[in-house]
Amino acid sequence: MGEKGVLCHLTSLPDVSLESAKQFITWLSDQGFDAWQVLPLTAPDEHGSPYASPSAFAAWPELLAHEAQASMEEDAYWLEDWGLYAAIKEDHGHRPWFEWPAPLRDRHPDALEAYKTKALHHINQQRHFQAAWRALCETAAQANIKLIGDLPIFIAHDSADVWAHRSLFQLNSEGMPTHVAGVPPDYFSEGGQKWGTVLYAWDAHQQESWRWWKERMGRMLRLFDIVRIDHFRGMHSNWAVPVQDEDARNGSWQEGPKDELLQTLVELARSPDRILAEDLGIIPPEVVTLRQRHGLPGMAVLQFGFHGDGSTNPHHPQNIQDDQVVYTGTHDNDTTMGWWNTLDDEAKQRVNAELHEGEDPVGGLIRSAFESKARMSIIPLQDLLRLDSHARMNTPGTSENNWKWSFSWPQLNIIQMEQP
Name the DSSP class of 165: T
Of 80, 230, 334, 354, which one is the catalytic site residue? 230
CA 332 to CA 76: how far, in whole Å? 33
φ, ψ of residue 92 to 5 degrees: the values are: -125, 40
Q: Is 388 a residue of the active site?
A: no
CA 402 to CA 408: how far, in whole Å? 18
How many residues are present in the chain?
Answer: 420
CA 418 to CA 204: how far, in whole Å? 53
Of 247, 273, 323, 332, which one is the catalytic site residue? 332
**Separation of CA 111 from chain center:** 34
Of 75, 150, 278, 383, which one is the catalytic site residue? 278
SS3 assignment, position 167? helix
Looking at the DSSP assignment, which residues form a beta bridge with residue 198? 155
CA 161 to CA 140: how far, in whole Å? 30
- Whether residue 161 contacts residue 82, with contact meaning beta carbons closer than 8 Å, is answered with no
CA 252 to CA 358: how far, in whole Å? 49
In angstroms and rounded to an integer, the radius of gyration of the C-alpha atoms of the chain is 22
- Whether residue 331 contacts residue 376, with contact meaning beta carbons closer than 8 Å, is answered with no
- Whether residue 271 contacts residue 293, with contact meaning beta carbons closer than 8 Å, is answered with no
Q: Is 260 a residue of the active site?
A: no
DSSP string, 41-91: -BPP-TTS-TTS-S-SS-B-GGG---SS----GGGHHHHHHHHHHHHHHHH
SS3 assignment, position 399? coil
Q: Is 278 a residue of the active site?
A: yes
45-58 burial code (b ≥16 CB/10 A, e <16) = beeebbbbbbbbbb
CA 147 to CA 35: how far, in whole Å? 6
Q: Which of 4, 3, 6, 1 is nearest to 379 (CA)?
A: 6
CA 45 to CA 55: how far, in whole Å? 10
What crossing angle do the helices spanning 345-352 and 361-371 adopt, rounded to 10°? 50
Sequence-distant (6+) residues with CB within 8 A of 264 are: 210, 213, 214
The residues annotated with a catalytic role in the active site are 230, 278, 332
